[in-house]
Structure 1
């Protein structure tokens, strides 16, 4: 009977090795988290692929529109507009303000505003200075400013 109590295998098993359950549970959790991440990634790319299919494809050109004195900007899809007149009409309704065309800026009133835009080079220009199609390819951001500053 004494031989069983002094066996080297019983002392090695209990003292020198960490419990098997803790190491296997951490690797299981790592695999589970990785599997979850992969599943989420696959589902996201699948849905984005379906949204970009030719049958459901919607074109948009969203830009941020800011108004002087208002800290929060709004997004506007420029492709829903027919041209400058439609754009200015939409912004007048959105911001509940008067926006004048650049040629009217000769006699600025205290309540009138003008519409400017930032192009891809970072320059600020008056809206209406270039043809609509060229404007759509260069605009990055819109800003409504006081007419007396033009």
Structure 2
């Protein structure tokens, strides 16, 4: 058998349509078909609807921030890249509280400035889907 991929296999690798989305504190992830959206605003509105957080991603509340991992597990803020470039490189999307993004930043070498993150040298994704924001007794 040949180890080379057919053109259609290579093409499907480049443009994946369904992307997993995980929200902090929500046990079950969801998936979005990025081909159904034309811009970040459309995506954010859909995420608000899916996770029942209307106005908390697009609004000025600043409660939640959306980050994503790419093929190299680099963690970046949604909106930092042109839309079509984002669609071709995104692997997973994560919705975290602003506090969680700031808390995770030093560990993952993300630089947070004015609500924006830029990846300096992240070796690890921002968090795994197993992490939770559950609050309980510390002892």
Shorter chain as denominator, the TM-score bin is 0.5 to 0.7
Runs of 4+ in 1 over 6 A off after TM superposition: none
Flag the structure with higher helix content: 1
1:1-150 matches, cutoff 5 A: 61-97=17-53, 98-100=56-58, 108=62, 112-148=63-99, 149-150=101-102
Residues 36-69 of structure 1: per-residue CA shift (max 9 Å, x gap)? xxxxxxxxxxxxxxxx9xxxxxx96101000001
Q: How far off is 1:99 after superposition?
A: 1.2
Distance across 2 between alignment mates of 1:100 and 1:113: 9
Flag the structure with higher strand content: 2
Larger radius of gyration: 1
Distance across 2 between alignment mates of 1:100 and 1:80: 18
- Which runs of 5 or more structure 1 residues have no equivalent in the other structure? 1-51, 53-58
- Which runs of 5 or more structure 2 residues have no equivalent in the other structure? 1-7, 9-14, 103-139
Distance across 2 between alignment mates of 1:147 and 1:79: 27
TM-score by length of 1: 0.52
* SS across alignment from 2:28: coil
Q: How far off is 1:100 after superposition?
A: 4.6
What is the CA RMSD across the aligned residues, in angstroms? Answer: 2.2
| Bigger RCO of structures 1 and 2 (CA < 8 A, at least 6 apart) | 2
How many pairs were matched up?
A: 86
Contact 1:120 1:138 in 2 (8 A): yes
TM-score by length of 2: 0.56
